[in-house]
Chains A and B, each alone.
Chain A
């Protein structure tokens, strides 16, 4: 509930069908009665009635007037949710009660979506549960799922698969080395996701963000009390350790060149959000993401599988590199208020809406131009042209950004489309390689 001016509350009351008048009766119980009303916002008064004498509070008693529009959709929940409480002193006025409002609070989901309303109350929930000696719980699976942000592994799978596909095209594919590389790359990614949450918790960015979505605002497991920051640090270190061991095994058994690629990947993942670098705070999160989840992953996989260097995985991965950076870019749109509050000056924080959307369109166009250019210049097989098929999603995401830039929850489906854009393009690039291998 947010505070409202009484004038504003009474102005809004005109959109409600009835009022609920509550007061405390002798004996200490509250009593409530629903009744017709008319309000005068200029005079800060609301008149409720007609009421029988038995349903009226005594003169001078403090009353609460509630206007509720929690509209049930029978069987399937509620919508158009809004309600207000006004307080004041009751004055009997013939068959009515007149109230001069002195205080008002309210919630309207059209202004504060339910998820934001809930997020703003997280400290209240944690304090209440602590007073009970209880804590929020989820199953181990869902806790792991949330803490690691597991679905975002698609950002790793796409470039790794592409690196493997290029190696297969060169006749050097090996499932064992490929899968081991994939596991190592996923471990870096999960370690990075968790580390990013730890840093955003430490610098207050996640706490300042009251509009997290499925795709933005971090995992929230620390803010909700599901996992402690210390446990998150241990988990992140564990994932990096797994990645380091796999990287060393691959380097020792395949090629020592992998060591430099692995180090580059780990360094990029750390300088992204770790102090003192915190490149994401400096508007450099996108290029770091593009490098790490594009050429570094693809080249690393190619080296691990084919044991030799090639420019092809670098060039072939440019489209997925750009598109993965655009996932981060778009997902930062709903985070921008919280990010700005803690000095996390991402490009989205720095730029106006028009420039953000124009840059999105330009970079996505470049990504698909590279797909075409690579195919037409024989850098990649001609079959990889099928990777342009998801391109229309760019227009959809752009429309979503234009329409819902300031509405995080309405933007969610477009954020999802943007993730699909990356995954579908990466998958079709791999399919293009597979088809090329099959047809020769």
Chain B
């Protein structure tokens, strides 16, 4: 996939099974939530059940978020690397009942069992009333080999999209 993210970061998002979404509360405090990242080459997507909607309220108050990939077990790639993407989040929830199902093709690639869970949505119906968190990436930080004791490579993505060079590349 060749999208808005640098190829080395894309490679991580294509396989990552869990990462951390960090939002900022109204008090200015960072709060992190483990979630499954989905990526279509343009946006990062996450979904949130209405059951766990606090993060959605935080994002509506402050859309500036970041998503980090940090766990070697959740990122089955060799060589291991870490990345964080900062961006602006938008909540898509015109139809919390089935709007998020548009993401099922991306979700299925990472978690094929999702289809069987959806078929059993009657067992936990509020879990399947979901909002989409769509993140427009603005900046990416990349730590080759997962080494955070060295400075990360930094990619200013709006500059890249405009054809310019990324800072720190």
Q: Which residues of A contact B150 (CB under 8 A)?
A: 52
B124 on the interface (CB 8 Å rule)? yes
CA A78 to CA B18, docked complex, whole Å: 10
Q: Which residues of A contact B112 (CB under 8 A)?
A: 75-76
Contact with A along B120-164 (1 / 0, CB 8 A): 011111110100000000110101001011111000000000000
Q: Which residues of A contact B125 (CB under 8 A)?
A: 136-138, 224, 226
A11 on the interface (CB 8 Å rule)? no
Q: Are A70 and B124 in contact (CB under 8 A)?
A: no
B47 on the interface (CB 8 Å rule)? no
Q: Which of A55, A71, A72, A125 contacts B148 (CB 8 A)?
A: A55
Known contacts A20-B32, A138-B121; A33 and B148 CB within 8 A of each other:
yes
Contact with B along A59-98 (1 / 0, CB 8 A): 0001110101011101111100001010100000001000
| Interface SS of chain A | mixed
CA A300 to CA B159, docked complex, whole Å: 81
Q: Are A32 and B66 in contact (CB under 8 A)?
A: yes
Q: Are B51 and A33 in contact (CB under 8 A)?
A: no
Q: Are A52 and B20 in contact (CB under 8 A)?
A: no
A77, A87, A214: residue with the most chain B Cβ atoms closer than 10 Å: A77
Q: Which residues of A contact B71 (CB under 8 A)?
A: 17-18, 34, 68
Q: Which residue of A lies closest to B27 (CB)?
A: A62
Q: Which residue of B lies closest to A53 (CB)?
A: B151
Q: Which of B20, B31, B117, B122 contacts A68 (CB 8 A)?
A: B20
CA A115 to CA B49, docked complex, whole Å: 13
Q: How far is the CB of A91 from chain B (nearest CB, A)?
A: 16
Number of interface residues of B (CB under 8 A): 62
Q: Are B20 and A20 in contact (CB under 8 A)?
A: yes
B111 on the interface (CB 8 Å rule)? yes
CA A129 to CA B151, docked complex, whole Å: 43
Q: Which of A50, A70, A76, A146 contacts B149 (CB 8 A)?
A: A50
CA A17 to CA B71, docked complex, whole Å: 8
Q: How far is the CB of A71 from chain B (nearest CB, A)?
A: 6
Q: Are B53 and A33 in contact (CB under 8 A)?
A: no
Q: Which residues of A contact B49 (CB under 8 A)?
A: 118, 125
Q: Are B84 and A31 in contact (CB under 8 A)?
A: yes
Known contacts A71-B73, A76-B113, A78-B18; A30 and B66 CB within 8 A of each other:
yes
Q: Are A64 and B22 in contact (CB under 8 A)?
A: yes
A356 on the interface (CB 8 Å rule)? no
Q: Are B22 and A32 in contact (CB under 8 A)?
A: yes
A42 on the interface (CB 8 Å rule)? no
List residues 68-103 of chain B with CB under 8 A from any CB of chain A.
Answer: 68-74, 76, 82, 84, 86-87, 93, 96-97
CA A232 to CA B72, docked complex, whole Å: 50
Contact with B along A120-139 (1 / 0, CB 8 A): 01101110110010101110
Q: Which of B24, B56, B82, B127 contacts A30 (CB 8 A)?
A: B24
CA A128 to CA B52, docked complex, whole Å: 9
Known contacts A18-B71, A85-B31; A77 and B113 CB within 8 A of each other:
yes
A29, A31, A71, A126: residue with the most chain B Cβ atoms closer than 10 Å: A29
A409 on the interface (CB 8 Å rule)? no
Q: Are A30 and B65 in contact (CB under 8 A)?
A: yes
CA A49 to CA B148, docked complex, whole Å: 8
Q: Are B84 and A118 in contact (CB under 8 A)?
A: no
Q: Are A31 and B66 in contact (CB under 8 A)?
A: yes
List residues 11-32 of chain A with CB under 8 A from any CB of chain B.
Answer: 17-18, 20, 22-24, 27-32
Known contacts A68-B71, A136-B125; A22 and B146 CB within 8 A of each other:
no
A233 on the interface (CB 8 Å rule)? no
List residues 36-55 of chain A with CB under 8 A from any CB of chain B.
Answer: 49-55
Q: How far is the CB of A177 from chain B (nearest CB, A)?
A: 35
Q: How far is the CB of A253 from chain B (nearest CB, A)?
A: 39
Q: Which residues of B contact A424 (CB under 8 A)?
A: none
CA A121 to CA B56, docked complex, whole Å: 14
Known contacts A64-B31, A68-B34, A74-B17; A35 and B148 CB within 8 A of each other:
yes
Q: How far is the CB of A329 from chain B (nearest CB, A)?
A: 24
CA A32 to CA B31, docked complex, whole Å: 10
CA A370 to CA B52, docked complex, whole Å: 51
Q: Which residue of B lies closest to A130 (CB)?
A: B50
Q: Which of A22, A35, A53, A128 contacts B56 (CB 8 A)?
A: A128
Known contacts A32-B70, A124-B54; A64 and B149 CB within 8 A of each other:
no
Known contacts A30-B30, A75-B111, A75-B113; A24 and B68 CB within 8 A of each other:
no
Q: What are 17 A-B contacts with C-beta separation under 8 Å?
A: A17-B73, A29-B65, A29-B66, A32-B84, A34-B71, A35-B148, A55-B148, A62-B29, A68-B20, A71-B74, A77-B117, A87-B29, A115-B124, A118-B126, A126-B50, A137-B97, A138-B122
Beyond contacts A33-B141, A49-B149: 12 other A-B pairs, Cβ-Cβ < 8 A, are A23-B30, A24-B30, A31-B141, A33-B84, A53-B151, A64-B31, A70-B74, A83-B34, A125-B126, A126-B126, A136-B50, A136-B125
Chain A residues within 8 Å of B, Cβ to Cβ = 17-18, 20, 22-24, 27-35, 49-55, 62-64, 66, 68, 70-72, 74-78, 83, 85, 87, 95, 115, 118, 121-122, 124-126, 128-129, 132, 134, 136-138, 142, 145-146, 214, 224, 226
Chain B residues within 8 Å of A, Cβ to Cβ = 17-18, 20, 22-24, 28-32, 34, 49-54, 56-57, 62, 64-74, 76, 82, 84, 86-87, 93, 96-97, 111-113, 117, 121-127, 129, 138-139, 141, 143, 146, 148-152
Please list the 7 inter-chain residue pairs (A to B) with the smallest Cβ-Cβ separation, ordered nearest first: A34-B70, A72-B17, A32-B68, A128-B53, A125-B50, A142-B122, A22-B30
